Amino acid sequence: MIAVIDYGAGNIFSVKNALDHLGYENILTKSETDIRNADAVILPGVGAFPWAMKMLSESGLVDTIKTEAKKKPFLGICLGMQLLFDKSFEFEECAGLGLISGYVDKINEPDLVIPHMGWNKLEINHDCPLFNGLSEDEYVYFVHSYKAFCDDENLYAYCEYGHKVPALVSDGKTVFGAQFHPEKSGKTGLKILENFVMLSGEGK
Amino acid sequence: MLAKRIIPCLDVRDGKVVKGVNFQGIKEVGDPVECAYEYNLQGADEIVFYDITASHEGRGVMLDVVRNTAKKVFVPLTVGGGIKTVDDIRETLRAGADKVSVNSQAVQNPALIKEGADIFGSQCICVGIDAKKVSDGKWTVYINGGRIDMKLDLIDWVKQIEQLGAGEICLNSIDTDGVREGFDIPMLDAVCKAVKIPVIASGGAGKLGDFADAFLKTDCSAALAASLFHFKELTVEQVKDDCRAKGIRIR
């Protein structure tokens, strides 16, 4: 069972639709018990960082997430990826989940359109199981105005948009974060989601 | 850098894909969910549903189309037509759309662009424009499916749209639409130079090379077509292969 954390953020149905399509049992939930019992957890999110952290703490999920993310495959998507870091400067300095070291700040590219929106090429920095079966020429779909700043060891893939934009980050163990939307990235995205679920042993 | 996008558009009325045939009337050409799925297999980077339903009941049917498509198509979905209020935007996004496209309503009520962008984010708000040439380098904006000239200067309007927080512009040329001799390059170029937000070329694609032509001659981010893809004269894949062969960055 995959728990998709539902804390009132954005379009979580598309994550559910993708998991349903792949044939994986999943549940949209904000229950601590569901998150504890799940084989893998996905933290989606669209919106602003401080607001999302507030919603997570109001749901009483912050401690559960911090504990469970170290025990089982855990994937943050888009804003959910940004929440994995120590802090963000979106509107105001705000503490994150601190699962991967680094911070989140505005994409500062005066000559480029912000938000960074569209299909961009995934450049692999370190190999990781989530990239199993992908070719060297894969595009994924991004929509965001803020980006992560992290150490090279946590940067598994990036894309070029002016400077490097972290696309996939990980603690090298159970915690993963995708800045792009795998649930909107066609076959490539579905493959990445499938690879993630496979980590939990929750194969078909 | 971002890949240029190829976007098939489906005109939908009462839950069916329809297509005007030589201005003689409208014929039903299929099930929108199936058509969207087929385009997805062909490699469409995004799919646009344009709702031409007039009735209130039809809106509900359109939302069902979006819901069902979102269950099997995993690329961004845009819905245009009939979106008049922030509530319309909200329910369309909730049904599974990633973006909405507003056209006549945005001209009549520009605040809708700002409200929508403030609440849901710029990335959700695409502004559709129908424009027609007045003289060289000058175009005006039309509403109601190209029937009413608002005497609004196109370049002034696109700058205003950007200021209001729109995430994208879908620019349809009334002059080239249906003519099938290529996109309106001068108009497209003028708009791309006037704004920084992405511009989608629409209206006029008639053959394979027209898409690459728009990308090579202007800074547009995407190109959209309807009938060409509906009637299977070209597949999305063929168009993408042609662009790739000409050195354009394509997914």
Question: Which letter does DSSP use for residue B19 in this model?
Answer: E
Q: What is the pLDDT of residue B153?
A: 98
Q: What is the pLDDT of residue B246?
A: 98
- B130 has catalytic annotation: yes
Q: What is the pLDDT of residue B54?
A: 63
For A98-124, b where at least 16 C-beta lie within 10 A, e where not — what string?
ebbebbbeebeeeeebbbbbbbbbbee
- Asked if pLDDT for residue A17 goes beyond 90, the answer is yes
- Asked if pLDDT for residue A95 goes beyond 90, the answer is yes
Does B93 reach chain A within 8 Å, measured CB to CB?
Answer: yes
Q: How far apart are CA A39 and CA A26, in angstroms?
A: 10
Q: Is residue A158 part of a domain?
A: yes
Identity of the residue numbered B245? A
Nearest to A18 by CA among A199, A140, A201, A186: A186
Nearest to A61 by CA among A14, A102, A9: A9
CATH code of residue A184: 3.40.50.880
- B31 has catalytic annotation: no
Q: What is the pTM of this model?
A: 0.93
What topology does CATH give the domain B5-245?
TIM Barrel (3.20.20)
- What confidence tens digit (pLDDT) does each residue in B117-175 have? 988 888 899 999 999 999 999 999 999 888 999 999 999 999 999 999 999 999 999 99
Between the two ends of chain A, the Cα-to-Cα distance in Å is 11
Q: Which of residues 24-53 of A touch B (CB under 8 A)?
A: 46-47
Q: What is the pLDDT of residue B94?
A: 87
Q: Tell me how many domains chain A contains.
A: 1
Sequence length of chain A is 204
Burial (CB < 10 A; 0-12, 13-18, 19+), residue A136, is: exposed
- What confidence tens digit (pLDDT) does each residue in A178-198 have? 999 999 999 999 999 999 999
Chain A residue with Cα closest to B222: A118
Contact call for B96 and A143, based on CB within 8 A: no
Residue with the two structure tokens 């299977």: B232
B137, B122 in Cβ contact below 8 A?
no
Q: What is the pLDDT of residue B20?
A: 66
Q: Which of residues 159-178 of A touch B (CB under 8 A)?
A: 160-161
Three-state SS for B202?
strand
Q: What is the pLDDT of residue A202?
A: 65
Q: Is residue A204 part of a domain?
A: no
Chain A residue with Cα closest to B166: A115
Contact call for B98 and A184, based on CB within 8 A: yes
CA angle B46, B49, B54 (to 5 degrees): 165
Q: Where are the domains of chain B?
A: 5-245
Does A18 reach chain B within 8 Å, measured CB to CB?
Answer: yes
Nearest to A86 by CA among A21, A18, A16, A154: A154
Does B238 reach chain A within 8 Å, measured CB to CB?
Answer: no
Contact call for B3 and A20, based on CB within 8 A: no
- What confidence tens digit (pLDDT) does each residue in B174-233 have? 999 989 999 999 999 999 999 999 999 999 999 999 999 999 999 999 999 998 998 889
Q: Which structural domain, as residue segments, surrounds residue A127?
A: 2-199
- Asked if pLDDT for residue A9 goes beyond 70, the answer is no
B174, B131 in Cβ contact below 8 A?
yes
Question: Which letter does DSSP use for residue B122 in this model?
Answer: G
Q: What percent of chain A has pLDDT over 90?
A: 87
Does B23 reach chain A within 8 Å, measured CB to CB?
Answer: no
- What confidence tens digit (pLDDT) does each residue in B79-103 have? 999 899 999 999 999 899 999 999 9
Q: Which member of B45, B88, B130, B177 is catalytic?
A: B130
Residue with the two structure tokens 């400077």: A163
User: Who among A115, A143, A161 is closest to B1 (CB)?
Assistant: A161
The ipTM estimated for the assembled molecules is 0.91
- What confidence tens digit (pLDDT) does each residue in A21-54 have? 999 999 999 999 999 999 999 999 877 899 899 9
A3, A38 in Cβ contact below 8 A?
yes
Q: What is the pLDDT of residue B11?
A: 92
Minimal CA separation from B199 to chain A, in Å: 11
Q: What percent of chain B has pLDDT over 70?
A: 96
Does A21 reach chain B within 8 Å, measured CB to CB?
Answer: yes
Backbone angles phi, psi at B63, to 5 degrees: -65, -35
- Asked if pLDDT for residue A60 goes beyond 50, the answer is yes
Pairing status of strand B99-102 against strand B77-80: parallel
Q: What is the pLDDT of residue A85?
A: 98
The 10 Å Cβ neighbour count of residue B134 is 13
Three-state SS for B81?
coil
Q: What is the pLDDT of residue A204?
A: 46
User: Who among A17, A21, A113 is closest to B198 (CB)?
Assistant: A113
